[in-house]
Chain A
C-alpha cells in the first residue's frame, strides 16, 4: 500500500511539532524517518495512527484521503504500529494480546481463543518467529515481545507498518534479526516506516530516507550516503561522531566491587555475584541489554538499594552499607538513567535542582536556611560552564529540552570534589550537540584521575567512552573485555555467550 502524507502540521500550544510535513512511502518499501530525539518523528507517526489529530494536512492511502479519529480507524485502514514502549498487557498471553480489540467470539461474546492461537501460529510460522501463543507476555524477552507487537499488527492485516525506534531495546543480534524480518515483510508487499536516530541501522536496511529536524523535513537521502553526511543533515551542522581521548593513565584502585549480590523488586537476584575493579583515570563501561541488572547495580553502588551479600569499597572505605547521604559525602557523583523520574525535580527551578545533592551545608545552606545569594551565583556559573540553554536559572527544569535537563544533572554531579563518577544512560534522549558535550565532560573527569563507571545500552557510546567493557547478562558479568573488542563479540556477550 502506498502511503502519502501531505502538509501535516501539528501544534501543541505555541510549539509546532510538525510543520507541513510531506512524506511518500511506496508499496513494499522500507522508508526510514531519521531525526534526533524531539525532532517530531513520533508526533508525526501518532498523527498517522490516529492518536493525535493533525491541525492541517491530509493522509492518503493508495491515493484515497483518510480521516482518523482514533487508532481503530487507522488500523481498519491498514496501518499498524509497533510503539517504542510496547503496547502489550504483561499479564495477558500472546494470543490474548494479539486479538485484543478484534476478538474472535462465539455465542454470548465468549472469547474463542483457539482461533486466536491459530492466528498467532499462522503468522509466527510464516515469518519464522517461533512464538508460543500461550506464553505470558511478561515472561518473554524483549525481542520476542517486539515480535508479538509485529504479529499483532499483521493479524489486523496491516499494509503499512510503522516501527518507532524498534532497536532501542534489542541486542545487536536481535537487531539483525529484526532487520531480516523487515526485509521479509517488505518483500511480501508491506510498506515499512522505520523511525530511528541510529545511522548504522538506516544505512543497513532502508530503501529511502527522509530526514526531519525541528519538525520540518530537511531532505531525502539514499542509504549509500556517508554517516557523517546523514548526521550533519540530522543535526544541521557538521558533527564529530568520534569521542577523542588519550590512552588512560591508571591511578590507584578506585572502586572495588566484590561478589556483590542484590535482590530486585520481584525478590529475584538481579545482581548475582558480581566483581570488578575500576582504577582512577579509567572508564569502565557496563554494557548489556536493558533490564539485565544494570539499573539495580548502579542503585546498589550509590546506596539506593540494599545489598544482600558482597562488598563495595571506594579506595579503602567500605561503602557497602552506607546510606545515600554517606555515599554522597564520600564523593560519589551519580547520573541516574531516568532523569525525569530520579535525576531532577521537574517543578523545581534550575538553581534549586543544581543544589539538590549539597543542600546540607556550605555553600548552599547557612544553618537551616538556604543561602540564596550563593545558590544563584553558583547556578549562574554552572549554567555558563555547562552551556545549559535556558531563559534563566529560575526556569523550572521540566521546561528544558532533554539535552539541557541532562546537562543540569551532569553539572550538579560533577561540580564538586569527586572520588567516583557513575553515569547511567548519560545520553539517552539527548540531542547530538549535548551528547558531544557530555562525552567530553566524562572524559575530562577520567583524565582528572577519577574512576568512572558508565552504564549504557548503546554500543556506540560504550565503545567510544570505555577503556574496558563489562557485559552484563541476567545479573551476571559475562566478561570484562578491552574497549577494542568487536561489536559482534560484544553482541554475543550481551546474549549471554561468554567471550
Chain B
C-alpha cells in the first residue's frame, strides 16, 4: 500500500528541545567559577593517583586550588555554551557531554575541598566501590522484581535482614559462608512474603513493602538492643571475609587496587551484574520475564505462567538483596549496627530508575552514590572547616544533578506495580 506522508507530521523535529540541561549546567558553572575559582584559596592541592607502595606508582600532581577552579570553570562555561547552541538548534545534548561536565565539576569540587591537603584518588575510588556494592545489589534486586512488574519497596528491609543474619549467624556458627547463606535465604523469605501477598492476594505492593520495612527495622532494633548489645562478643563478632588480591590484574595502576583487591562479596557483585544483564536480555527466561512486566495478559496468552514468573524473580531478587546486606557487615565492617542499611535500600530504588531498569546503568548509578558517600566521609577529614550539614547534602545534590542531567525520558516496564488478575 502506498501512502503519502508529508515529512514533519508526527515528528518531534520542530518542537523545542528542553533547555533544562544547559540551565542546570550554567548554574553549576557559576558555582565552580565563583566559589572554587575566583573566591577560592591559592593553597596547593596534591593529587595522589596511586599509593606509594603500588607496583606502578604514578607521580603526584600539585596545583593551586583556585587555578584548577578557574581552568575547569572556563571549560565548563564552554560546554554550557555548546549545550545552549545544541538546544537552540533543536538537538538534544549527548549523554557524554553531561558525563564529562559532571566529572570535571567533581574534580573542581575535590580540589576545592582539599585545598592545602591531598586528594587520595586511589583511596576514594576503592572506597566508593565498596560502598556502592550494597546499593548496587539492592538495585539489582529492584530491577529483577520491577522487570516482572512488582515494585519492591522492601529492598531496605531485605538489606537489613541480610546484614543482620550475616553478622549473627556468621558469628554464632563461626563460619562466614554460613552467615552469607543465611543472609540470602532470610532476605529471599522476606521477598516471598512480598511476592505472595502482592501476587496471590493482590494486596497493594507498596503497602506490603512498607510494612515489611517497618517490621524488619523493629525486629532488628529489638534484637540488637536486647541481645547483641549485651552479647556482642558471641553473637555480633563475625569478622569479615579476607581481601583477595587477584594476581597481575591488581597491579594495574589506579584501577587495579580498586577493582581487584576486594572481598568475595564485591567480586560476587561484579559477577551478578553482568549475569543479570545476560539473563534479562539474552535468554529465553529473561524474554519471558520482561514480557510479564510489560504486558502480563499477552504473556499469559502465549502460555507463560505470570504468577509463577513474578514469584520466582522477586524471590531470587531477594537473595541478591540479602547478599547486598551481607556486604554491609561481613563484607565490610564486621559487625551489625542498629539500622545499618540507613536508607540505602531506598537509594537503590532511585538507582533502579536512574539506571533505567538496566543492570549496567544501574551499576554505574550505584557507583555514583558510593562516590557521594565516600566524598562525605573524606571531606570531613581533609576539610574540617566545612559544615558537616553541607557535606551531608552532597549525595542528594548528586541525585538531583543525576536525575536532571542524565535521565531524560525514562520508561518503566509498562505493567510495573500492576497486579495481574486472571479472568
Report whether B284 and A269 are in contact in the complex, using a CB–CB cutoff of 8 Å: no
Hey, which chain B residues are within 8 Å of A268, CB to CB? 10-12, 15
Nearest Cβ distance between residue A275 and chain B, in whole angstroms? 15
Partner of B9, one of A83, A100, A476, A498: A476
Name which of A31-39, A108-116, A197-205, A280-288 contacts chain B: A108-116
Hey, which chain A residues are within 8 Å of B299, CB to CB? 100-101
Report whether A173 and B284 are in contact in the complex, using a CB–CB cutoff of 8 Å: no
Give B5-21 as 1s and 0s: 1 = Cβ < 8 Å from A's Cβ atoms.
11011111011000000
Tell me the residues in window 442-499 of chain A with beta carbons closer than 8 Å to chain B beta carbons: 474-476, 495-498
Report whether A100 and B302 are in contact in the complex, using a CB–CB cutoff of 8 Å: yes
Report whether A109 and B284 are in contact in the complex, using a CB–CB cutoff of 8 Å: yes
Nearest Cβ distance between residue A179 and chain B, in whole angstroms? 14
Query: B285 — nearest CB in chain A belongs to which residue?
Result: A109
A82–B423 Cα gap in the complex (Å)? 18
Question: Does A19 count as interface, using CB distance less than 8 angstroms?
Answer: no
Report whether A100 and B10 are in contact in the complex, using a CB–CB cutoff of 8 Å: no
Question: Does A251 count as interface, using CB distance less than 8 angstroms?
Answer: no
Nearest Cβ distance between residue B12 and chain A, in whole angstroms? 5
Question: Does A135 count as interface, using CB distance less than 8 angstroms?
Answer: no
With A46-B423, A101-B299, A109-B283 given, is the CB distance from A267 to B15 under 8 Å?
yes
Hey, which chain B residues are within 8 Å of A177, CB to CB? 1
Report whether B302 and A496 are in contact in the complex, using a CB–CB cutoff of 8 Å: no
Hey, which chain A residues are within 8 Å of B6, CB to CB? 476
Partner of B3, one of A86, A101, A105, A497: A497
Report whether A111 and B301 are in contact in the complex, using a CB–CB cutoff of 8 Å: no
Report whether A269 and B303 are in contact in the complex, using a CB–CB cutoff of 8 Å: no
Give B400-423 as 1s and 0s: 1 = Cβ < 8 Å from A's Cβ atoms.
000000000001001000000001
Question: Does B141 count as interface, using CB distance less than 8 angstroms?
Answer: no
Tell me the residues in window 294-317 of chain B with beta carbons closer than 8 Å to chain A beta carbons: 294-295, 297-304
A445–B167 Cα gap in the complex (Å)? 77
Query: B298 — nearest CB in chain A belongs to which residue?
Result: A87
A498–B3 Cα gap in the complex (Å)? 10
Query: B422 — nearest CB in chain A belongs to which residue?
Result: A51
Hey, which chain B residues are within 8 Å of A165, CB to CB? none
Report whether A92 and B12 are in contact in the complex, using a CB–CB cutoff of 8 Å: no
Report whether A496 and B4 are in contact in the complex, using a CB–CB cutoff of 8 Å: yes
Report whether B9 and A71 are in contact in the complex, using a CB–CB cutoff of 8 Å: no
Nearest Cβ distance between residue A104 and chain B, in whole angstroms? 9
Report whether A96 and B287 are in contact in the complex, using a CB–CB cutoff of 8 Å: yes
A91–B295 Cα gap in the complex (Å)? 10
Nearest Cβ distance between residue B358 and chain A, in whole angstroms? 13
With A177-B1, A267-B12 given, is the CB distance from A87 to B283 under 8 Å?
no
Question: Does A430 count as interface, using CB distance less than 8 angstroms?
Answer: no
With A268-B12, A269-B11 given, is the CB distance from A111 to B283 under 8 Å?
yes
Query: A476 — nearest CB in chain B belongs to which residue?
Result: B9
A88–B4 Cα gap in the complex (Å)? 27
A70–B304 Cα gap in the complex (Å)? 9
Tell me the residues in window 1-46 of chain B with beta carbons closer than 8 Å to chain A beta carbons: 1-6, 8-12, 14-15
Report whether B295 and A89 are in contact in the complex, using a CB–CB cutoff of 8 Å: yes
Nearest Cβ distance between residue B136 and chain A, in whole angstroms? 24
Report whether A269 and B15 are in contact in the complex, using a CB–CB cutoff of 8 Å: yes
A71–B282 Cα gap in the complex (Å)? 25
Nearest Cβ distance between residue A301 and chain B, in whole angstroms? 20
Interface size on A (CB < 8 Å)?
Answer: 45
Nearest Cβ distance between residue B262 and chain A, in whole angstroms? 27
Nearest Cβ distance between residue B251 and chain A, in whole angstroms? 33
Give A153-174 as 1s and 0s: 1 = Cβ < 8 Å from B's Cβ atoms.
0000000000000000000011
Question: Does A90 count as interface, using CB distance less than 8 angstroms?
Answer: yes
Nearest Cβ distance between residue B22 and chain A, in whole angstroms? 18
Hey, which chain B residues are within 8 Å of A70, CB to CB? 300, 303
Hey, which chain B residues are within 8 Å of A103, CB to CB? 284, 287-288
Report whether A87 and B302 are in contact in the complex, using a CB–CB cutoff of 8 Å: yes
Hey, which chain A residues are within 8 Å of B5, CB to CB? 474, 496
Nearest Cβ distance between residue B77 and chain A, in whole angstroms? 29
Nearest Cβ distance between residue A175 and chain B, in whole angstroms? 12
A111–B299 Cα gap in the complex (Å)? 17
Give A76-103 as 1s and 0s: 1 = Cβ < 8 Å from B's Cβ atoms.
0000010100111111100010001111
Hey, which chain B residues are within 8 Å of A71, CB to CB? 300-303
Question: Does A57 count as interface, using CB distance less than 8 angstroms?
Answer: no
A475–B304 Cα gap in the complex (Å)? 38
Which of B3, B4, B300 has most A Cβ within 10 Å? B3
Hey, which chain B residues are within 8 Å of A52, CB to CB? 423
Question: Does B291 count as interface, using CB distance less than 8 angstroms?
Answer: yes
Query: B292 — nearest CB in chain A belongs to which residue?
Result: A89
A191–B391 Cα gap in the complex (Å)? 71
Partner of B423, one of A51, A174, A272, A474: A51
Hey, which chain B residues are within 8 Å of A272, CB to CB? 8-10
Hey, which chain A residues are within 8 Å of B15, CB to CB? 263, 267-269
A100–B300 Cα gap in the complex (Å)? 10
Question: Does A49 count as interface, using CB distance less than 8 angstroms?
Answer: yes
Report whether B294 and A91 are in contact in the complex, using a CB–CB cutoff of 8 Å: yes
Nearest Cβ distance between residue B229 and chain A, in whole angstroms? 47
Hey, which chain B residues are within 8 Å of A87, CB to CB? 295, 297-298, 301-302
Nearest Cβ distance between residue A70 and chain B, in whole angstroms? 6
Nearest Cβ distance between residue A115 and chain B, in whole angstroms? 12
Question: Does B356 count as interface, using CB distance less than 8 angstroms?
Answer: no
With A111-B287, A173-B1, A496-B5 given, is the CB distance from A88 to B11 under 8 Å?
no
Question: Does A231 count as interface, using CB distance less than 8 angstroms?
Answer: no
Query: A474 — nearest CB in chain B belongs to which residue?
Result: B9
Partner of A89, one of B10, B284, B285, B294: B294
Hey, which chain A residues are within 8 Å of B8, CB to CB? 269, 272
Report whether A83 and B283 are in contact in the complex, using a CB–CB cutoff of 8 Å: no
Tell me the residues in window 250-294 of chain A with beta carbons closer than 8 Å to chain B beta carbons: 263, 267-270, 272
Nearest Cβ distance between residue B137 and chain A, in whole angstroms? 23
A83–B302 Cα gap in the complex (Å)? 12
Report whether B288 and A101 are in contact in the complex, using a CB–CB cutoff of 8 Å: yes
A111–B5 Cα gap in the complex (Å)? 36
Question: Does A75 count as interface, using CB distance less than 8 angstroms?
Answer: yes
With A89-B291, A90-B294, A100-B291 given, is the CB distance from A110 to B283 under 8 Å?
yes
Nearest Cβ distance between residue B134 and chain A, in whole angstroms? 28
Question: Does A433 count as interface, using CB distance less than 8 angstroms?
Answer: no
Report whether A100 and B287 are in contact in the complex, using a CB–CB cutoff of 8 Å: yes
Nearest Cβ distance between residue B313 and chain A, in whole angstroms? 15
Question: Does A236 count as interface, using CB distance less than 8 angstroms?
Answer: no
Would you list 25 pairs from A and B whose C-beta atoms are within 8 A, ordered by A residue? A71-B302, A72-B303, A81-B301, A87-B295, A87-B298, A87-B301, A88-B295, A89-B298, A90-B414, A96-B287, A101-B291, A101-B303, A102-B303, A103-B284, A103-B288, A108-B283, A109-B285, A111-B283, A111-B284, A268-B15, A269-B14, A475-B9, A495-B3, A496-B3, A497-B2
Interface residues of A (CB under 8 A from B): 46, 49, 51-52, 70-73, 75, 81, 83, 86-92, 96, 100-103, 105, 108-111, 152, 173-174, 177, 263, 267-270, 272, 474-476, 495-498
Closest 6 CB pairs of A and B: A72-B303, A101-B302, A87-B298, A103-B284, A474-B9, A496-B3
Interface residues of B (CB under 8 A from A): 1-6, 8-12, 14-15, 282-288, 290-291, 294-295, 297-304, 411, 414, 423
Knowing that A174-B1, A267-B15, A497-B3 touch, tell me 15 more A-B residue pairs with CB under 8 angstroms.
A71-B303, A72-B303, A81-B301, A89-B294, A90-B294, A92-B287, A92-B290, A100-B298, A100-B299, A152-B302, A268-B15, A270-B10, A272-B10, A496-B5, A498-B4
